[in-house]
Amino acid sequence: FATPSSTMVHHDHRRFLLVIYPAQSHINPALQLAKRLISMGVHVTLLITLHMYRRMPNKPSIPGLSLLTYSDGYDAGFSVFTGGDEDYRLYASELKRRGSEFIDDLITFRAKEGEPFTCLIYSLLVPWAHEVARDLQLPTALLWIQAATVMSIVHRYFHGYETLISDKIKSKDEALTIPGLNLSLSACDVPTFLLVSPTNPVSFIFPVFEEQFQVLDKETNPIVLVNTFEALEPEALRAVDGINMIPIGPLIPSAFLDGTDPADTSFGGDILNATDDDYVEWLDSKAESSVVYVSFGSYHELTKKQTLEIARALLGCNRPFLWVIREKMIKVEGKKEEEELSCMEEILKRKGKIVKWCSQVKVLSHASVGCFVTHCGWNSTMESLVSGVPVVAFPQWSDQNTNAKLMEDAWKIGVRVNPKAINEEGIVEAEELRRCLDIVMGSGEKAKEVRKNAQKWKMLSREEGHRSSDKNLRAFVNG
């Protein structure tokens, strides 16, 4: 169990093992959690896959953090997009088998060495980590990296609401209310991984959610650490009986929260990818609140048709834009659109800036950014709130629909592309995106309202949110 990076000797008896699912959206909040735990005197060992470790252009060297790796059998990486549900099932079972063996040996070894772990925190999608810890009598907590609202909906689904929610998604008619949530949900607001169907591209993940909730059901009052804060989702945090949801977010680099550590801008999403390097200068050259920032997260692929419509909308709205198009982000099919896109390339580069990756937290905190066109991944959602940047919510799948609903209806920080405007091919056309951009970037009443609310949430997340979550985490550590 040699540690690739281990610094600072800790004399505190609290030693936490953090086991996370190998994805950007898990490691980002997990690293921030690790830093906060360390600042509270806890020694943290973070366990990641070898592939994830090798991918990191800058290895995190956080004093007090030990980074450990294990092989999930896919050291060259695994993409859910190249295989189908069956490939994912195989991947998930290898991850579980090898991960379980590794942590079983690790926990046992450390106990024998007289340096036992005192708690295991595991992120969503690795429920097997809890099972190993339970057998070894090690207390656990789940790190829920999505909204508390999503937790409540999924919990209901597995506790008597399965048919109701499935029927609602299929029938697409009147709204559904979930006990304890002050939200009226339409079909397009429910997490799409709950729709089990061969045509649903995200149903591969359903069995892992099912297993996760079975694991929670076996525990008495399980602890779930949620990357949210009290004022943001007060009802959702209390909507599930028998689960102790503790808000500990926003898990964002401290420099962006309170400015107490301005040097600490690291690991705000750029841990797994090298960032392009000249976008900050480009942003510096733009007027205040004039830039449209566009990003669909670390995961999602876009069709060429959809990319073309976004390009048209951005050119049509006549504002500078910074657009993240990751390598291999655009699906290969679509010859005709490819030609059109390559004809547009020059003009796109002249009017805006396209990068393969950037530090999103840095971009969102830049004064020239006026609006965030986002796929509404939960990390991006939290980052937009903390930065006070109004959004055009453009959800694609998974929990993003629910997050978009919260952004538009609960917190009122932006406008969502109208789900009814999605055409039969699943494409949002340029006119609809233009409409949303014109509202959010314009000077009308709606623009004023969303800007005001975005500022309100910026203050709340940094002050009340950060403070109360810090208190909660401290109580958990000392509890």
Q: Which residues are catalytic?
A: 26
Counting residues that bind ligand UDX (by CB under 6 A) gives 26
Q: Is the dihedral of CA 268, 256, 314, 402 positive or negative?
A: positive
Q: Work out the widest C-alpha separation in the chain, in whole angstroms.
A: 66
Q: Applying CB under 6 A, which part among 173-181, 215-223, 225-233, 357-365 lies near ligand UDX? A: 357-365
Q: Does 229 bind ligand UDX (CB under 6 A)?
A: no
Residue closer to ligand UDX by CB (options 96, 300) is 300
Q: Does 400 bind ligand UDX (CB under 6 A)?
A: yes
Residues between 120 and 159 that touch ligand UDX (CB under 6 A): 145-146
Q: Does 360 bind ligand UDX (CB under 6 A)?
A: yes
- To the nearest 10°, report the CA torsion of 299, 305, 309, 312: 110
Q: Does 379 bind ligand UDX (CB under 6 A)?
A: yes
Q: Applying CB under 6 A, which part among 11-19, 55-63, 213-221, 376-384 lies near ligand UDX? A: 376-384
State the Cα–Cα distance between residues 213 and 154, nearest whole angstrom: 9
Q: Applying CB under 6 A, which part among 174-182, 304-312, 359-367, 386-394 lies near ligand UDX? A: 359-367
Minimum CB separation of residue 279 from ligand UDX in Å reads: 9
Q: Does 228 bind ligand UDX (CB under 6 A)?
A: no
- Please confirm whether the linkage preceding 250 is cis (ω < 30° from 0): yes
Q: Does 192 bind ligand UDX (CB under 6 A)?
A: no
State the Cα–Cα distance between residues 245 and 55, nearest whole angstrom: 32
Q: Applying CB under 6 A, which part among 20-28, 104-112, 170-178, 203-211 lies near ligand UDX? A: 20-28
Q: Does 233 bind ligand UDX (CB under 6 A)?
A: no
Q: Applying CB under 6 A, which part among 100-108, 331-339, 351-359, 455-463 lies near ligand UDX? A: 351-359
Residue closer to ligand UDX by CB (options 360, 368) is 360
Q: Does 402 bind ligand UDX (CB under 6 A)?
A: no
Q: How many of the other CB atoms lie within 10 Å of CB of 352?
A: 19
Q: Does 227 bind ligand UDX (CB under 6 A)?
A: no
DSSP letter, residue 140: E
Minimum CB separation of residue 9 from ligand UDX in Å reads: 31
Q: Applying CB under 6 A, which part among 22-30, 125-133, 240-248, 416-424 lies near ligand UDX? A: 22-30
Among 249, 352, 377, 390, binds ligand UDX (CB under 6 A): 377
Among 20, 21, 25, 404, binds ligand UDX (CB under 6 A): 25
To the nearest 5 percent, what fractions of the chain are helix, strand and coil? 45, 15, 40
Q: Does 45 bind ligand UDX (CB under 6 A)?
A: no
3-state secondary structure string across 275-332: CCCCHHHHHHCCCCCCEEEEECCCCCCECHHHHHHHHHHHHHHCCCEEEECCCCCECC
Among 72, 189, 230, 270, binds ligand UDX (CB under 6 A): 270
Amino acid of residue 395? P
Q: How far is CA 421 from the centre of its chain?
A: 25
Q: How far is CA 450 from the centre of its chain?
A: 22
Residue closer to ligand UDX by CB (options 138, 291) is 291
Amino acid of residue 202? V
State the Cα–Cα distance between residues 240 and 89, nearest whole angstrom: 29
Give the pair of three-digit tokens for residue 336: 């005709």
DSSP string for residues in 212-262: HHHHHHTSSS-EEEESS-TTTSTTGGGSSTT-EEEE------HHHHTSS-T
Residue closer to ligand UDX by CB (options 181, 361) is 361
Residue closer to ligand UDX by CB (options 204, 357) is 357
Give the pair of three-digit tokens for residue 296: 């669909």
Residue closer to ligand UDX by CB (options 66, 273) is 273
Residue closer to ligand UDX by CB (options 23, 40) is 23
DSSP letter, residue 101: H
Give the pair of three-digit tokens for residue 266: 């690291």
What is the rounded end-to-end Cα distance, in angstroms, of the chain? Answer: 29
Nearest to 132 by CA among 52, 245, 19, 2: 19
Among 22, 250, 269, 414, binds ligand UDX (CB under 6 A): 269
| Cβ-based neighbours of 445, under 8 Å, separated by 6 or more | none
State the Cα–Cα distance between residues 263 and 232, nearest whole angstrom: 28
CB 434 within 8 A of CB 195: no
Write the interaction track for ligand UDX spanning residues 295-334; mark x where CB under 6 A is met and - where it is not.
x-xxxx-----------------------x----------
Q: Does 28 bind ligand UDX (CB under 6 A)?
A: yes
Residue closer to ligand UDX by CB (options 21, 161) is 21
Residue closer to ligand UDX by CB (options 142, 324) is 324
Contacts to ligand UDX by CB under 6 A: 24-25, 28, 145-146, 269-270, 295, 297-300, 324, 357-361, 377-380, 383, 398-400
